[in-house]
């Protein structure tokens, strides 16, 4: 089965050329990532057409251009529902796509909403409070140390050596700075002091399966003990990635990851970030419905590589999951609205 696959993405250099800052476009992709994905899709026997961002997609849809499937990894630029913009457009036109639907993309980008659902289902996650304005600081009733970050950012944006908070004065200073800098609420949660992990999951629903788990450790000389934007950008020098050894801890970590993935109804592939609490038990930090896909530096491809899966095989697994979900593996076009499945 050969498909016409359109690629929708945000290219970092395009936004830098428009005057956006490096921090504003930190989640966006490099030309290297986009070309690697295009080559992987071609290697799998499909035809590739690079479309570009959500606005470019909208123009193509209005003009009548169509493809069999969209490989969507566009993060969007503004708003807490920005990752939902491309899936929503595609659903309006009845075109199938990879990864999660608009509801899940919007929900998982908002870390507080993710944690509320996880907590309601009995999944372990640190206690938290959302600070929307300075007046909310007096209502924070959590045990120090705390950790603060923007409620709807990825790639470690807003996280640095000041994110861990030891007392009320620091809490006010950090929250005021983040509220001003990112113009969105701040998630404040009880700090998890233990080891940090990220687990990759593939597939949908009951068929979803754990791919593997990486442990993330700051390298000697790293600027912070927490996985910040700077550390992700310079991961070759500042981060040590290790496979989590097999045993009871790995089973606990991956059980939590798979439960969160299924609870939140992610599709095709995703990543779940966790950390150990004071008792050494895993607790949920974040869920990523649009995981990074740089073949060498992004966490999901690194997990795949450690488990013996090549980058082409990983891309193939994502496409196969989407094609099966949409009925494209049976050799016919997906029906209108099939993107919701």
pLDDT at 330: 65
Q: Is residue 36 part of a domain?
A: yes
Residues 178, 203 share a domain: no
pLDDT above 80 (res 331): no
56-111 per-position pLDDT tens digit? 999 999 999 999 999 999 999 999 999 999 999 999 999 999 999 999 999 999 99
pLDDT at 230: 74
* HEC profile of 19-67: CCCCCCCCCCECHHHHHHHHHHHHHCCCEEEEEECHHHHHHHHHHCCCC
133-171 per-position pLDDT tens digit? 999 999 999 999 999 999 999 878 999 989 999 999 999
Measuring CA to CA, which residue among 89, 38, 118 is closest to residue 285? Answer: 118
User: Residue 53 in contact with residue 11, Cβ under 8 Å?
Assistant: yes
Residues 231, 213 share a domain: yes
pLDDT at 220: 87
Residues 180, 238 share a domain: no
Q: Is residue 105 part of a domain?
A: no
pLDDT above 80 (res 190): yes
pLDDT at 236: 80
Q: What angle do CA 283, 287, 293 make, to 5 degrees?
A: 130
Which domain CATH number covers 89?
Answer: 3.40.50.20
Structural domain including 137 reads 127-190
As a whole number of angstroms, the distance between CA 335 and CA 312 comes to 28
User: The pTM is what?
Assistant: 0.93
| Domain total in the chain | 3
pLDDT above 50 (res 335): no
Residues 161, 220 share a domain: no
* Cis upstream peptide for 145 (omega within 30°): yes
Q: Is residue 122 part of a domain?
A: no
Residues 235, 184 share a domain: no
Residues 206, 304 share a domain: yes
- Indicate the SS3 state at residue 202: strand
Segment 305-309 mean pLDDT: 97
Residues 307, 217 share a domain: yes
Residues 180, 201 share a domain: no
Q: Is residue 341 part of a domain?
A: no
Phi/psi of residue 51, each to 5°? -100, -50
pLDDT above 60 (res 279): yes
User: Residue 177 in contact with residue 150, Cβ under 8 Å?
Assistant: no
Average pLDDT taken over every residue of the chain: 93
Q: Is residue 315 part of a domain?
A: yes
Residues 271, 170 share a domain: no
Segment 238-249 mean pLDDT: 95
Task: Give the model's confidence band at 237: pLDDT under 50 very low, under 70 low, under 90 confident, else very high.
Answer: confident
């Amino acid at each position: 089965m050969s498909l016409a696959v359109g690629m929708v993405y945000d290219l970092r250099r395009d936004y830098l050329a428009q005057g956006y800052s490096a921090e504003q476009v930190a989640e966006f992709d490099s030309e290297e990532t986009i070309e690697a994905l295009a080559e992987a899709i071609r290697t799998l026997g499909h035809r590739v057409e690079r479309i570009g961002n959500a606005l470019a997609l909208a123009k193509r849809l209005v003009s009548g251009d169509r493809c069999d499937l969209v490989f969507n990894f566009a993060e969007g630029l503004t708003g807490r529902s920005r990752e939902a913009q491309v899936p929503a457009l595609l659903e309006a036109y009845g075109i199938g796509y990879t990864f999660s639907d608009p509801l899940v993309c919007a929900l998982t980008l908002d870390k507080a909403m993710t944690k509320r659902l996880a907590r309601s289902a009995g999944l372990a996650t640190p206690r938290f409070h959302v600070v929307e304005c300075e007046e909310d600081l007096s209502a924070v009733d959590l045990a120090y140390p705390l950790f603060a970050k923007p409620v709807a950012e990825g790639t470690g944006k807003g996280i640095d050596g000041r994110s861990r908070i030891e007392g009320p004065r620091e809490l006010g200073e950090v929250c005021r700075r983040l509220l001003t800098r990112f113009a969105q609420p701040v998630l404040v949660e009880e700090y998890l002091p233990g080891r940090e992990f990220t687990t990759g999951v593939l597939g949908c629903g009951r068929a979803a399966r754990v791919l593997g788990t990486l442990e993330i450790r700051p390298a000697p000389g790293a600027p912070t003990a927490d996985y910040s934007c700077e550390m992700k950008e310079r991961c070759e020098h500042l981060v040590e990635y290790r496979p989590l050894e097999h045993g009871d801890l790995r089973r606990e970590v991956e059980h939590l990851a798979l439960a969160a993935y299924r609870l939140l109804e992610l599709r095709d592939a995703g990543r779940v970030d966790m950390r150990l609490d004071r008792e050494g038990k895993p607790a949920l930090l974040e869920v990523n419905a649009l995981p990074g896909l740089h073949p060498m530096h992004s966490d999901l491809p690194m997990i795949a590589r450690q488990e013996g899966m090549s980058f082409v095989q990983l891309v193939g697994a994502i496409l196969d999951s989407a094609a099966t979900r949409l009925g494209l593996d049976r050799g016919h076009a997906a029906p209108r609205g099939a993107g919701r499945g």
